[in-house]
Structure 1
Amino acid sequence: MRKTIVTAVALLTAAPVIAQLPAPVAGVSPTLSRVAQSGVLRVCTPGDYKPFSFMKSEGVYEGLDVDLMTSLANSLGAKPQFVKTAWATLMPDFVSGKCDIGAGGISVSLERQKQAYFSAPYMVNGKTPITRCENVARFQTVEAIDQPNVRVIANPGGSNERFARTRLSQAKLTIHKDNLTIFDEVIKGNADVFVTEAAEAIVQSKAHPELCAVNPDKPLQYAEMGYLLPNGDEVFKRYVDQWLHLAKAGGEFDARRAAWLGK
């Protein structure tokens, strides 16, 4: 009897300690749990990068990634909520927890990978010059662009600025804060060339007959695009990767891509 009483007392004494240590539940995603509870998938996007994500008016977005994020949200029984950010503040905004996923033509980079996960890449989209059409023959290579008499323009905070600063260090660089009007600067002759992703160069050359993408099928630097995902949330990453795989295998991805890129 005494032994039984001692054991019971010991268990009661230990109970509060055990209660303070919640057991981990295998396979639980904090991101998926939050989305399920709120019914909202929060998407960080700069919203200034056609054809991936473009803010038409306050809170109204369109583009390839906007369509795809809507599809992802639907698969989760949720609605997408697009959270405006900028290329210079994308990573601080994302890692601070303002959103569940980042989208809008985001290049996969090792620097970003230090702070967040990436989904499987959904597009190869290397660096491509865009210039006035009469200058296409002049800007065929990095070496031809990286000259002191060449005026390069770039938007701040993303891979375009990083490419310009690291690969075009001899050229005269201007940082233009508005990614939507940067092409006008080239058209007006205030800059000679802008190096951006092939998809954007193609779309903008179609929108502006004065401009030509230089060899978009043979980019100056290999690059991939992916979706930013919360660091450490393995379950959410696997979910997004599988959703993307099924969207590609089932033809949805190609249909949406063709609608925005024409191919």
Structure 2
Amino acid sequence: MNMHKKLMLAIAMASMAFLGIRTATAQETSRLDKILEDGVLRVGTTGDFPPISARDIATQGYVGHDIDAANELAKDLGVKLELAPAEWKTLINGIAADKYDLVMSGVSLSLDRAKVAGFTQPYLEFGTVPVARKADSEKFKSWEDIDKDGVTVATTLGTVFDTQSKDYFKTATLKQVEAPALGFQEVLSGRADVTITSNVDAAALVQRYPELSIVPVDGARSKRPASFMVAQGDQIWLNYLNNWITVKKMQGYFEQLDKKWLQAK
């Protein structure tokens, strides 16, 4: 091979290597890079899941366990926090449409959801329990007492409890309500007998509404982890969030949050 051909081959190989580096760099572009560049962290939250994420009537802002966590995450990133309203039935669509960078709202990690969305390592554990009016405390004492003719179970469309109700109850009447309506409101109003929700939410509900009580079932069902939801395919952003959760757990931050917001758990 003469010198000219060797030179051309070397240039070609160098060009291919350069293009390869550029392609790899493009593929590694992450939502994390955009957050740091824009200086804004957009967090989707529902505001209807106290004490995890709730609307503050006085300020019309958000308060709760995950709202504190969102502020802490933004602080550690060195960016401004922007909370975006989200609905349970469109959480995944909101991620796909780039309305927010992640969801922090007590999202249960289910295998069905994991098929279409990314999830961080867990930071909480949920279990499902039934809630009824205290006046019906003699009527409902077990899961079996609920699954009977004449009993109406209300859930909010699109929530994990909406899906679970179909598995738990084969005889009782299932009533789906559209957000912002919530299952417990149907029970309070007498339009339903029972709702199901997480152990965390139930503890907060019975404190706020003395008319409600947790049905004394043998145990919570569908124990599951709570995680932050992200878009699939962005391993860099997911790695950062997982590392952040690990560090914050080791520093005792989540323990402090739990004491502040979940003492009634």
Q: TM-score, normalising length from structure 1? A: 0.88
Q: Distance in 2 between matches of 1:195 and 1:49?
A: 13
Residue 4 (str. 1) matches residue 3 (str. 2): yes
Q: Distance in 1 between matches of 2:90 and 2:217?
A: 28
Deviation at 1:183, TM superposition (A): 2.5
* Equivalent position of 1:258 in the other structure: 259
Partner of 1:103: helix, strand, or coil? strand
Q: TM-score, normalising length from structure 2? A: 0.87
* Equivalent position of 2:34 in the other structure: 34
Of Structure 1 and Structure 2, which has the larger fraction of its residues in strand? 2
Task: Map 1:86-125 to 2 at 5 A.
Answer: 86-125=87-126
Deviation at 1:169, TM superposition (A): 3.0
Q: Distance in 1 between matches of 2:121 and 2:217?
A: 22
Deviation per CA, 1:26-57: give whole Å up to 9, x if none: 99560211111111111122221111112336
Partner of 1:170: helix, strand, or coil? coil
Residue 69 (str. 1) matches residue 66 (str. 2): no
- The answer to whether the 8 Å contact 2:156/2:181 transfers is no
Partner of 2:88: helix, strand, or coil? coil
Deviation at 1:181, TM superposition (A): 5.0
Q: Which has the larger displacement, 230-239 or 185-194?
A: 230-239
RMSD: 2.7
Residue 209 (str. 1) matches residue 221 (str. 2): no
Shift of the 195–232 alpha-carbon distance from structure 1 to 2, 3 Å rule, reads: same
Task: Map 1:1-263 to 2 at 5 A.
Answer: 3-11=2-10, 20-21=19-20, 22-25=22-25, 28=28, 30-56=30-56, 60-179=61-180, 181-215=182-216, 218-262=219-263
Shift of the 259–27 alpha-carbon distance from structure 1 to 2, 3 Å rule, reads: farther
Structure 1 unpaired stretches of 5+: none
- The answer to whether the 8 Å contact 1:128/1:201 transfers is yes
Q: Distance in 1 between matches of 2:46 and 2:167?
A: 23
Deviation at 1:13, TM superposition (A): 6.2
Deviation at 1:163, TM superposition (A): 0.9
Q: Distance in 1 between matches of 2:217 and 2:72?
A: 28
Shift of the 17–28 alpha-carbon distance from structure 1 to 2, 3 Å rule, reads: closer
Q: Distance in 1 between matches of 2:222 and 2:23?
A: 47
- The answer to whether the 8 Å contact 1:126/1:221 transfers is yes
Deviation at 1:12, TM superposition (A): 5.2
Q: Distance in 2 between matches of 1:13 and 1:234?
A: 32
Q: Distance in 1 between matches of 2:35 and 2:87?
A: 23
Deviation at 1:9, TM superposition (A): 3.9
Q: Distance in 2 between matches of 1:16 and 1:247?
A: 44
Partner of 1:178: helix, strand, or coil? coil
Deviation at 1:179, TM superposition (A): 4.8
What is the percentage of aligned positions where both structures have the same residue?
Answer: 27
Aligned pairs, how many? 262
Partner of 2:55: helix, strand, or coil? strand
Partner of 1:88: helix, strand, or coil? helix
Shift of the 64–148 alpha-carbon distance from structure 1 to 2, 3 Å rule, reads: same
- The answer to whether the 8 Å contact 2:154/2:184 transfers is no
**Aligned amino acid, residue 190 of structure 1:** R
Partner of 1:106: helix, strand, or coil? strand
Q: Which has the larger displacement, 115-124 or 56-65?
A: 56-65
